[in-house]
Chains A and B, each alone.
Chain A
Amino acid sequence: MTGRELGSEISNQKIWRGRIAALCIGFVALSAAAQIQLGSLDHATQAKKQHVELLTDSLELAANKPQDVELRFRVEPGFHINSHTPKDELLIPTDLRLNAGSLRIANERYPAGSNFHLAIGSGEDLDVYQGEFRVMLRVEAPKGASTLTGALRYQACDNASCFPAKLLPVEIAVNAR
């Protein structure tokens, strides 16, 4: 190898070292940016987070015949929501608001709540839903496919803090034969 070739080799090594260093810096910067981005997204998501989920996604019915169906919901573990008939008039009741569309909804029946003791200071007994709960509907559907839409309004708390009332969208495919 000539002196010029050797010089070129050393120069190449320096270039590679530089490239590797630049790549490392780039990755570290990218990681930091991603962490920050994820953090802010997470904060925004938390604020809008639902504490109740709809478990029923479809209904199979006999066409043109009134029948009882149940809509199943689940409250996030560690949280409770007021029942449909809370003990205090200031508390926000759980309420299902449906757009019947082509369906005929005769009535809605809510389950009884369970007692929850809020152990702060003098304490307070609340009437709440925890875990899974079911709302019964008397429904009559025309033959064919349709969709039951609406929203469940609820207000969730844990044992020390509360979130504002939220609307959980309800969309259930109905197939009547």
Chain B
Amino acid sequence: MLAEHSPSGLKIACGGKLVAAGEGSETLGRRLSVLFAMIALIAVLFWAGVHNLRHRRQLSESNRVTLIPAAPADDNAGPPDAEGSELRGKAAPAFTLTDIAGKKVSLGDFKGHPVVVNFWATWCGPCKLEMPWFQEFSQKYKPQGLEVLGLSQDDGASPKDVSDAAKKIGVTYPILMPDEKVAKKYGGVDYLPETFYVARDGKVVEVTAGAPSKDQMEALIEKTIAAGGA
């Protein structure tokens, strides 16, 4: 340790650094200033983050209205984000439901098949307009093993009401009666239509909320057939 004199007082070299002994309180004051400045900066960043998050969610909510049908020509556009989107890449939640004829149907019955799990309701206009496409594709891709399941979300409706609506829409694939527990497993299904594309290995390949264009739907079906092995 070496000592030397300086105009501001005695400085002592310690570990290669010169430390001014008379600067202790000054250093403390400086550190406190830095601390408060950092707190203020973090508070501002935090507030900006919260504000930005809210703004993005509002923007996303309003954009969702136009994202899907406004760009039907852009078939490469990704599907809109769904509340069950966190299921992408994960195993599709298992379920057993009753179809409109009273027969039990499980997702597990279709093991090894690509499956489209479509949540819909009789009161949902966009659902009824996209369902004939599912019907068409269920026939077109039948040789590849495609199965389509329509999970009605008509709480309180009778199987006959749902069956009549399905006939009117013109679909013949299995229509299953609602169970709130199943909807919860699939992220709540707070709006319709919401569709989960499940590959042969039982994993969710894609999730869409809102009706996509017909081309988008077919692309997703082809992606689902190609995924999860032959």
Query: CA separation between A157 and B121, bound complex, in Å?
Result: 13
List, in ascending order, chain A residues with CB within 8 A of B24's CB: 9, 12
Q: How many residues of A contact B (CB 8 A)?
A: 49
Decide if B91 is an interface residue (CB 8 Å cutoff).
Answer: no
Given contacts A1-B21, A78-B65, contact A126 B132 (CB under 8 A): no
CB-based contact B21/A6 at 8 Å: yes
Interchain pairs with CB closer than 8 A, number: 143
Instruction: Return the chain A residue nearest B80 by Cβ.
Output: A160
Task: Tell me the residues in window 121-150 of chain A with beta carbons closer than 8 Å to chain B beta carbons.
Answer: 121-124, 126
Residues of B within 8 A of A27 (CB): 39, 42-43, 46
Query: Is A39's CB within 8 Å of the partner chain B?
Result: yes
Is A83 among interface residues, defined by CB-CB distance under 8 A? no
The CA of A79 and the CA of B128, in the complex, are separated in Å by: 18
List which B30-58 residues lie within 8 A (CB) of chain A: 31, 34-35, 38-39, 42-43, 45-46, 49-50, 53-54, 57
State how many residues of chain B have any CB contact under 8 Å with chain A.
Answer: 57
> B76 interface residue, CB < 8 Å from A?
no
Q: Are A118 and B22 in contact (CB under 8 A)?
A: no
Known: A78-B62, A160-B210. A31 touches B49 (CB 8 A): yes
B65 and A162 contact, CB distance less than 8 A: no
The answer, yes or no, to whether A112 is at the interface (CB within 8 Å) is no
Q: Looking at the complex, which one of B53, B64, B83, B130 makes contact with A38 (CB distance below 8 Å)?
A: B53
CA distance A165 to B221 in the complex (A): 30
Decide if A159 touches B129 in the complex (CB within 8 Å).
no
Query: Which residues of B are at the interface with A, using a C-beta cutoff of 8 A?
Result: 1, 10, 12, 14, 19, 21-22, 24, 27-28, 31, 34-35, 38-39, 42-43, 45-46, 49-50, 53-54, 57, 61-62, 64-69, 80, 83, 121-130, 132-133, 153, 165, 188, 190-193, 209-211, 214
**Cβ-closest 9 pairs across A and B:** A1-B21, A160-B210, A161-B210, A160-B68, A120-B129, A78-B65, A158-B65, A162-B124, A27-B42
